Amino acid sequence: MLEKRPPSNPYVRIGRIDKHNPVSFQQVVNLYKNTGWLESHDRQSDTWVPILIAGSLCCFGAFHDKKLVGFGRAISDTVSDAYIQDVMVSDSYRGQGLGRRIVNAILEELRSRHINWIGLISTPGTAEFYRRLGFTSLRGHVPMRFSGK
């Protein structure tokens, strides 16, 4: 069972995305663009989507019929640590519990593999969303990104 609470939008199902359960890559690209994580004119980045799906430990989508309205994934060494990435819900489907259901599906997968160190970097304005799902800030730790040469 993927659900931790009754779904607040019962018409949307959460499902795994992988080679056995493929999704139109264009739908994923559109979600990334909707969120602003891919530029609408950035055609080169479109080619990343199949690669990032294949290179993730797990990906889950939120589907309204066949339409992809949400997405999230985890990258991991598969035994020790995992990072949750790119959790996103299409504008018009936000506030219906889909983000929570996607994160819970990812958590269930990671915990079934006994991966106990699960981290993420929350984008500005989303920390409370993750706190409600059981995440806490790491005291004294600072998220960093290499920006040198």
Q: Which residues bind ligand COA (CB under 6 A)?
A: 35, 87-89, 94-100, 122-123, 125-126, 128-129, 132
Residues 6+ apart with CB under 8 A from 99: 70, 72, 87, 89, 129
CB of 22 to ligand COA, least distance (A): 22
Task: Using the minimum distance from each CB to ligand COA, give the nearer residue, 65 or 149.
Answer: 65
- Token pair in block for residue 21: 């359960």
Task: Using the minimum distance from each CB to ligand COA, give the nearer residue, 96 or 109.
Answer: 96
Do 128 and 22 meet the contact criterion of CB atoms below 8 Å apart?
A: no
CB of 56 to ligand COA, least distance (A): 15
The residue number whose beta carbon is nearest to ligand COA equals: 99
CB of 20 to ligand COA, least distance (A): 25
